[in-house]
Amino acid sequence: MMYVIFAAAALITVLASVKLSSYADVLSERTSLGGMMVGTLLLAGATSLPEVTTSATAVFVNNPDIAVGNVLGSNLFNLLILAVFDVVYRKKQMMSQIQSSHLLTGFVSLGLTAFILVAILTPSGVVFLGIGIESYLLVIFYIISMRTISRAGSPVEHMEAAASEAVEVVESHHTRAISVKRAKIGFAIAAAIIFASGSLLTLSGDAIAAATGLSSSFVGSFLIAGATSLPEVVTVLVAIQLLNYNLAVGNILGSNIFNLLILVLSDVLYRGGSILSVASPVSAVTALAVIGLNIIVLGAIMFWRIRSPHKGYALPSILLILLYGISSYLIFTF
């Protein structure tokens, strides 16, 4: 029964996330939020709400491993999505057409993930107001990174707005067909549904871990993370079909940066000290895998920018997929 509940919760979460992104797009375009950083944050929060809900619920049920594993696993799964589509649409040679501005976004994601890996392996033990010092530093690094990206002219708004743009195309209507009032009501309803389904996703995942003996880190890193990242599949697929490869890559790399902030929220909610200090060593393996996959993506973008693509174009993405499989096995058997 728990598997049926998990599958139903995952499906509802995905469908509600699609609608939520659409309504967020309307509000950002047709209200005073449009064109402002707040609008970008609204869209970012909308597309990342499933991860927020599942991680928060994991903290409330006193399972920090699921909270941490969900965030890192979502980032791992997002990179897998990019690699799979790159292989499937290898004739389009997507990685050879990516703007250099996205490299900075990728390096920021790489650096923040490396910081989290170090925090998990060697926690400082310093806690202020019930929150680990690592979370404060993560926020500071995030703010500095966003300012650097903005000054460098990197398309920050494309990081998360990509999801809403893709959803709009999928639904085949312009946002002006939805009134602002309807968008506000729809946004609130979709958010409430995601809160409920995301919570149910975590609770059923926790039950699966207890019943099967699987580690909470594995359940969070793969089962729950995979379910909450499914909306990204729609985003990347539509962006590629629109031949907007920068939109596809920018959304994945930007989402991975924003997702890391969920760890800060989880730390705020967790009352047992720093959440990273109690995370299972399995989470460190997941973080290391995210770093490895991120390096492959960045390397592919840089390499194909200076070399003409040839028959071996898809090799980096194939390597990424293989590394994902190996890391999955290691986390499962850890």
pLDDT in tens, 275-284: 888 888 888 8
247 in Cβ contact with 239 (< 8 Å) = yes
From 21, 157, 165, select the one nearest 101 (Cα to Cα): 157
CB 45 within 8 A of CB 52: yes
Q: What is the rounded distance in angstroms from the CA atom of residue 210 to the CA atom of residue 203?
A: 11
Distance CA 161, CA 163 (A): 5
Extract the tokens encoding 202.
């975590």
Task: Tell which residue, 35, 254, 52, has the closest CA to residue 160.
Answer: 254
| C-alpha 51: how far from chain center | 8
Residues 25-83 pLDDT 10s:
676 666 655 444 444 455 556 667 777 788 888 888 788 888 888 889 889 988 998 99
Over residues 233-249, the pLDDT tens digits come to 777 777 787 777 877 78
Is 283:69 a contact under the CB 8 Å cutoff? yes
Task: Assign 91 a pLDDT band (cuts: 50, 70, 90).
Answer: confident
Full domain range(s) for residue 233: 2-333
Q: The CATH number of the domain where 55 resides is what?
A: 1.20.1420.30
Banded model confidence at residue 291, pLDDT cuts 50, 70, 90: very high
Number of domains the chain contains: 1
How many percent of the chain have pLDDT more than 70?
80
Question: pLDDT tens digits for 96-148?
Answer: 888 777 788 889 889 999 999 999 988 888 888 888 898 899 899 888 887 77
Q: Region of 62 please: left (phi>0), alpha (psi -120 to 50) or beta.
A: left
Angle, to 10 degrees, between the axis of helix 281-306 and the axis of helix 315-333? 180
